[in-house]
Amino acid sequence: MPELNNAPARIIPRSEHDLSRQYIDENSLKVLYRLHRHGYKAYLVGGGVRDLLLGRTPKDFDIGTDATPEQVYKLFRNSRIVGRRFRLAHIIFGRNECIEVATFRRKPVEEEVPDDERFFCENVFGTPREDAFRRDFTINALFYSIDDFSIIDYTGGLEDLRRGIIRVIGDPVERFAEDPVRMLRALEFSARLGFELHEDIAPAIEQQAPLLAEASSARIREELLELFRHKVGGKVLQRADKLGLLQQLVPDMQAQRESFDLLRQLDLRTAIGVDIQESMVLATMYLTPFCQACSSDMPLGEVHKLANREIARHCRRFSIAAGIRHQAREMLITFFRLTRGRGRRGEQRFLRHPCVHDGLELFRLWCECSGEHQDLLQSWTNAIAGKEEQKPRPQRKPGPPRRRKKKTPPAPV
């Protein structure tokens, strides 16, 4: 990659691009305009610009400015300053909308980082150019200026966007060492956008993969859920396995083709509008080894222990709440009972179990993926939905009324 730090920024005027303000959130525009009216630089930054240029609907809109968090706070009564490691302003609209406003930052020089200041290095403010080169990928370093409605490109992101390439800003080995989660994000963006990884990314991931084990477990947990929210979990985890990243990402997950196929099927389920639940993700990730360890005549008590054992290590590592763990375990147990077939003892009570619907969804996922047991799936679906004709209870044979046993009076004391 050519050195771009000293190259002039490429500025695309409004007449030469398709990004229109009508596609930008109204409240984001209010923030941009107020910052601009008070003499500050105000840019729409990052993924919002990228998605609008690709004709996609952004999940949210982030704003970059040369105003400090304190200056932003003074401008907006509905704002608050958040974060210590990375201080920024949140501007609140209504009950559900939050616009994130971050001050342009730069990478500090060594003498600027005192030994006794833990959070100093993430709050060194800088210029838009310096801020662009701190970002992870070129396609995420594009700025839209509210001043003249131009797009500003410091890193060559527009060309990479046109060619469909994920490229790290700077040396991938060094940037992955700074933040190992970037390796996972590179795979995520490649899968979400249908872009190719630049040729230097895969070797860097293979080299730096062990560093991911040192990343925050809470952050990795959230990134994993993001994969499934964006319907690319199965694809990304399978590619992570090929690059040696899966073992660091999810150490307890067995890399088996059946597991990846199930996760891809889960992504297809999400793509048609079904909300993703973390408990469903957990149950799907560990369904294949659970099935391999089960036998049809295994007592339910043993099945319970087995289901708990499969997901317990994962839940401990990522500090997953007991309620989510319980739901995932019950899905696995319900799946086992569904695969055994109809007519078992206690079936009517089982059909009324609170977790039977979630377990049925897991069973449906497995049937769609394997192409097996479609008749059994339909039978259980009808029974759980109450569409199956109930068999009449056997009538007691007519006969003389039963005589009640007389109570024997207690013996006198």
Task: Render pLDDT for 273-284 as a digit per residue (tens, 0 to 9).
Answer: 999 999 999 999
Q: Give the range among 28-32, 38-42, 295-299, 328-332 with minimum mean pLDDT.
A: 295-299
The catalytic position among 51, 62, 131, 267 is 62
Please say if 375 is a catalytic residue: no
Please say if 25 is a catalytic residue: no
Q: What would the CATH number be for the domain defined by 171-251? A: 1.10.110.30
Q: Are 362 and 287 in contact (CB under 8 A)?
A: yes
Please say if 62 is a catalytic residue: yes
Q: What percent of the chain has pLDDT over 70?
A: 90
Q: Give per-residue pLDDT as tens, 244-263.
A: 999 999 888 888 899 999 99
Compute φ and ψ for 92, nearest 5 degrees.
-100, 130
Instruction: Give residue 413's pLDDT band: very low, low, confident or very high (50, 70, 90).
Output: low
Q: Are 102 and 120 in contact (CB under 8 A)?
A: no
Q: How far apart are CA 106 and CA 283, in angstroms?
A: 42
Sequence letter at residue 256: Q
> What integer pLDDT is reported at residue 389 of this predicted model?
57
> What integer pLDDT is reported at residue 402 of this predicted model?
64
Q: What percent of the chain has pLDDT over 90?
A: 70
Compute φ and ψ for 216, nearest 5 degrees.
-60, 130
| The CATH number fitting domain 1-169, selected from 3.30.70.3270, 3.30.460.10, 3.40.50.300, 1.10.490.10 | 3.30.460.10
Write down the domain spans for the chain: 1-169, 171-251, 275-386
User: Could you write out the three-class secondary structure of 175-229?
Assistant: HHHHCCHHHHHHHHHHHHHCCEECCCHHHHHHHHHHHHHHCCHHHHHHHHHHHHH
The catalytic position among 51, 66, 131, 136 is 136
The catalytic position among 25, 60, 252, 261 is 60
Q: How far apart are CA 73 and CA 80, in angstroms?
A: 6
Q: Which two tokens stand for residue 160?
A: 């990479």
Write down the mean pLDDT value for the chain: 89
